[in-house]
Every structure is written in structure tokens, then in C-alpha cells.
């Protein structure tokens, strides 16, 4: 038994990031007489599971070997047959699992079947790491609501743009590269209509030496003010665009958008705004497991108020903009008293060039 093999399995699992959603990232290593005889990971949604990839790759008979796998092997017929059957037939002696599968179709059953077939099972090696890796999957498979990460980039004095809405660029190249990797990892990216009007962004993944996957673009636009020549409208062949609006939208405008290939999702209104909980539920029903929320301030505040945010990534650049007309990351009305603040738990601090990035989780989620 050796932790280094589970580390390797986690490293392999990570390679599936962005390609396997809404499935989990899973990695697997098969060890015999102290050496790795096979390894694999879940590469694309709908394709082979990690255990099957690893078993297909063995360079020696896996009989009496030990399997290290980051998630409990599945016991159900999904898009592929149960992994436990393959494991049992291979003659593997022991299976070491980082964490149980939260999928109610599997949870605990995979382990039970392995044990009933005389295979030794151990659970919990690097469990925290494995659960963090699959935080999106864990929320989505148990609630059917997408996991939401709020990302913002601001100066030391908490501004995301100047009074002229200039924001290019607040953070370093390394931070922006990190954000593009996040976009690849998440199934959807969500912004408010003001961001589209002011910045006209593409909201796609642009990474050197890596062909990332573009997220579905979700524009929160209660009155459907989106310009028909906005980049996110004009390049729908590149990435899907969904405009989330309300009955307050002009019907002829939504018709035009649909003709241009934009999907229009009408939600109930809350104080004249898009009902974000309804929207998240609908996105979940469409198979979207994760949303990267890239603000602005109005949408960010509504998102926090509606309790849809799970995690935050606040990038802070060592610059000062100043000015009471400069934009801030979370706007809206703000809470009345400090005791009403949204609290962030499990904070970690990361350094990206000269920037710092604070990561954490919204309390009571
Ligand atoms: C594993 N190994 O590599 C993965 C697992 O539709 P399917 O057949 O791909 O099944 C998806 C479900 O299988 C998913 O919700 C999760 O419970 C499990 N994923 N299991 O043993 C893997 N990706
Ligand atoms: Zn499986």
C-alpha cells in the first residue's frame, strides 16, 4: 500500500478536467510487485471509465495486483458497463479507493459487490484531495443544481474597473491564463448584460498549446438589451449562447436572437430581475454541472443574495485605482450590517506572479 500511487491516480484524473463533465474526473493505477503495470483515466464524457482504461493498458497479467482508484468503481449500466465486473474478472486482489461515489446509483454498492466477490477493499486514501477534485460532481449529482464559482479580478483597493469602465488589464498574464483554464473546466460561464454592453467579451477559452473546450455562455439580461452585433451573438457557431431573460423582454427582440442561433430562456422575475435560482435549476436540467460567474457587481450581489454561489476566486493585483466612481466586484444594495456579511470559509491563498488569489467557500451552503 503506497500513497504515491494514489497521488499518481489523482494526477491522471485531473487530465480529464473540462472534458468529462458532468461526469467526475477519475484516475486509476494498477500495481503488481511494486511496479505500475497499468494506468488510465476517464478521458471524455461517455467514454471508458478510468478502471477500464487502466485494465486495457496492462503490460502484465493483473491477477493478484492492487488497484488504486480515485472514486469508487461503478456498479451500474450507464453509457458503459459496470467497472466492478471488469475488476472481478481481471483477478485483481485488492482495490484501494480514495472516496465513495456520491452518485446514488452507485454509492456503496460498488464496494459491496467487490467485497462479495472476495476482493479486499480499502477506502479513504487521500479522500480530501479526491473530494476537492470532484467538488463540482459531488454537488451536481446530489442536487442537480450546478456548482457555482464566483471569480473576480480587482485592485488592492477593491476596484474592478476605472470610472471610464477601463479594466484591461487589472491582473497579470499568469492570472488571466489561470482564468482561461477555469473556463475550460467549467461547463458554463455567466455574466450580466452590463459586461456585454461595456466590454463586448467573447467569453471563450484562448490558451496557447492547449485546445480547451469553450463553456456555454449565459448572459443574464432581464430586459433583453443585448446588442444583436455583440460578439457572443455573432459567434454562436464557436460556443453556445443562452440569454436568460424575463417576460419584460421585447418579444420581437427574443425572436431575432433565436433566429441568430441564440437560445433564450425566460425565467420568472424577482423585483424585475431574472430569478437566479430558477435559472440555475434549468441549467442543471440541461446537463450543465458548473457555472463560472464572472460578474459584474450587480449580478454578483444578486447571486450571493440568491444563495447560488458555492465558491469564490478573488484575484487581487498590487495596483490602486481609487475614486468613488470606480467599479467594485460586488455592488447592488449591499448588506445593512457587518453581521449580515456573506462569510467565506476554508480560505487558501495563492500567488500568481505579482497577484494574489484568495479561494474559499461560501458558508452555510
Ligand atoms: C467509475 N469510473 O472513470 C467514472 C465513473 O454514464 P456512464 O456510464 O459514464 O456513468 C457515469 C457515472 O459513473 C457517474 O455519474 C459516476 O457515478 C460514475 N463515474 N465511475 O467507476 C470512472 N467516470
Ligand atoms: Zn465505472
List active site positions.
51
Pairing relation of β-strands 27-32 and 355-362? unpaired
DSSP string, 100-167: ----TTTTTHHHHHHHHTT-EEEE-TTHHHHHHHTHHHHHHHHHSS-EEEEEEEEETTS-SB-TT---
**All three cell numbers of 86:** 471488469
Between the alpha carbon of residue 339 and those of residues 184, 335, 336, the distances in Å are 36, 9, 9
120 annotated to a ligand binding site:
no
Instruction: Provide the CATH number for the domain formed by 3-135 in this structure.
Output: 3.40.140.10
Q: For the chain, first and last CA: distance in Å?
A: 36
Could you tell me if the CB of 23 is within 6 A of ligand 1? Answer: yes
Q: Is 49 annotated as a binding residue?
A: yes
- The minimum-distance atom of ligand 1 relative to the CA of 101 is 17
Ligand 2 centroid distance, CA of 44 (Å): 13
pLDDT reported for residue 211: 82
Write out pLDDT tens, residues 201-249. 999 888 887 888 899 999 999 999 999 999 999 999 989 999 999 999 9
The string of pLDDT tens digits covering residues 171-187 is 999 999 999 999 999 99
CA dist., res. 314 & res. 344, Å (int): 11
Residues with CB under 5 A from ligand 2 (ion): 49, 74, 83
Q: Is 254 annotated as a binding residue?
A: no
Per-residue pLDDT, 355: 98
Cα distance between residue 210 and residue 200, in whole Å = 24
Å from CA of 268 to ligand 2 middle: 39
Euclidean distance between CA atoms 219 and 257, whole angstroms: 12
**Could you say which residues of the chain have pLDDT below 70?**
1, 365
What are the helix (H) ranges across 286-322? 297-305
- On whether 248 is known to bind a ligand per the annotation, the reply is no
Residue 354 marked ligand-binding = no
**What's residue 1's pLDDT?**
64
Q: Do domains 3-135 and 144-362 have the same CATH topology?
A: no
Q: Find the 245 Cα to ligand 1 centroid distance in Å.
A: 34
CATH superfamily, with its number, for domain 144-362? Dihydrofolate Reductase, subunit A (3.40.430.10)
> What pLDDT score was predicted for residue 115?
98
Binding site annotation covers 300? yes
**What integer pLDDT is reported at residue 319 of this predicted model?**
97
What nine digits make up the cell of 348?
Answer: 487558501
Cβ 138 under 6 angstroms from ligand 1: no
CA of residue 105 to ligand 1 center, whole Å = 10
The phi, psi pair for 61, rounded to 5°, reads -60, 125
Query: Which has the closest alpha carbon to 213: 134, 311, 133, 290?
Result: 290
Burial grade of 335 (CB within 10 A; 0-12, 13-18, 19 or more): middle
Pocket of ligand 1 contains residue 71 by CB under 6 Å: yes
Q: Residue 57: count other Cβ atoms within 10 Å of its Cβ.
A: 14
CB of 2 sitting under 6 A from ligand 1? no
Domain regions of the chain by residue span: 3-135, 144-362
Q: Which cell is 268 given?
A: 420568472
- Residue 203 near residue 162 (C-beta atoms within 8 A): no
For the record, the C-alpha cell of 24 comes out as 467526475
User: If you measure from the C-alpha of residue 43 to the centroid of ligand 2, how many angstroms do you get, rounded to a whole number?
Assistant: 12
Beta pairing, strands 35-41 & 241-245:
unpaired
- Which single residue is written with the C-alpha cell 430581475? 273
**Which atom of ligand 1 lies at the shortest distance from residue 48's CA?**
3
Which are the contacts of 199, defined by CB distance < 8 A and separation ≥ 6?
Answer: 165, 167
b (16+ CB within 10 A) / e for 253-288: bbeebeeeebebbbbeebeebbbbebbbbbbbeeeb
Which of the listed residues 12, 20, 24, 84 should we mutate to test ligand 1's pocket, taking the one with most ligand atoms within 8 A of CB? 24
Verify whether ligand 1 is closer than 6 Å to residue 101 (CB atom): yes
ipTM for the assembly? 0.92
Do residues 281 and 139 touch, judged by C-beta distance below 8 A?
no
Residues in the chain: 365
**Would the CB of 24 count as within 6 Å of ligand 1?**
yes
Ligand with an atom nearest the CA of residue 40:
1
Which atom of ligand 1 is least distant from the CA of 78? Answer: 8
Distance 61 CA to ligand 1 centre (A): 25
Amino acid at each position: 500500500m503506497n500513497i504515491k500511487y494514489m497521488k499518481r491516480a489523482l494526477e491522471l484524473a485531473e487530465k480529464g478536467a473540462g472534458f468529462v463533465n458532468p461526469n467526475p474526473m477519475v484516475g486509476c493505477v494498477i500495481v503488481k510487485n511494486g511496479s505500475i503495470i497499468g494506468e488510465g483515466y476517464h478521458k471524455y464524457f461517455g467514454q471508458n471509465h478510468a478502471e477500464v482504461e487502466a485494465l486495457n493498458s496492462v503490460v502484465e497479467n493483473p491477477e493478484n495486483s492492487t488497484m488504486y482508484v480515485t472514486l469508487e468503481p461503478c456498479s451500474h449500466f450507464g453509457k458503459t458497463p459496470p467497472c466492478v465486473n471488469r475488476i472481478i474478472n481481471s483477478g485483481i486482489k485488492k482495490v484501494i479507493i480514495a472516496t465513495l461515489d456520491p452518485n446514488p446509483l452507485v454509492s456503496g454498492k460498488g464496494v459491496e459487490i467487490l467485497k462479495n466477490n472476495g476482493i479486499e477493499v480499502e477506502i479513504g486514501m487521500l479522500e480530501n484531495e479526491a473530494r476537492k477534485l470532484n467538488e463540482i460532481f459531488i454537488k451536481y449529482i446530489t442536487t442537480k443544481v450546478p456548482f457555482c464559482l464566483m471569480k473576480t479580478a480587482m485592485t488592492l483597493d477593491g476596484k474592478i474597473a476605472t470610472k471610464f469602465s477601463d479594466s484591461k488589464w487589472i491582473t497579470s498574464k499568469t492570472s488571466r491564463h489561470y482564468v482561461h483554464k477555469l473556463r475550460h473546466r467549467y461547463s458554463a460561464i455567466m455574466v450580466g448584460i452590463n459586461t456585454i454592453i461595456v466590454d463586448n467579451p467573447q467569453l471563450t477559452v484562448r490558451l496557447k498549446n492547449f485546445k480547451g473546450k469553450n463553456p456555454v455562455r449565459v448572459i443574464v439580461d432581464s430586459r433583453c438589451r443585448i446588442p444583436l452585433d455583440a460578439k457572443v451573438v455573432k459567434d454562436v457557431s464557436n460556443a453556445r449562447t443562452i440569454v436568460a431573460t424575463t417576460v419584460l423582454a421585447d418579444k420581437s427582440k427574443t425572436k431575432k436572437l433565436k433566429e441568430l442561433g441564440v437560445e433564450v430562456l425566460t425565467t420568472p422575475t424577482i423585483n424585475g430581475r431574472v430569478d437566479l435560482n430558477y435559472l440555475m435549476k434549468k441549467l442543471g436540467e440541461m446537463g450543465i454541472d458548473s457555472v463560472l460567474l464572472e460578474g459584474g457587481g450587480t449580478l454578483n450581489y444578486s447571486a450571493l443574495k440568491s444563495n447560488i454561489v458555492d465558491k469564490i476566486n478573488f484575484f487581487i493585483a498590487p495596483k490602486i485605482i481609487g475614486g468613488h466612481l470606480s467599479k467594485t466586484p460586488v455592488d447592488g444594495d449591499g448588506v445593512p450590517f457587518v453581521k449580515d456579511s456573506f462569510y467565506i470559509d476554508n480560505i487558501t491563498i495563492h500567488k500568481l506572479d505579482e497577484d494574489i488569489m484568495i479561494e474559499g467557500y461560501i458558508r452555510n451552503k
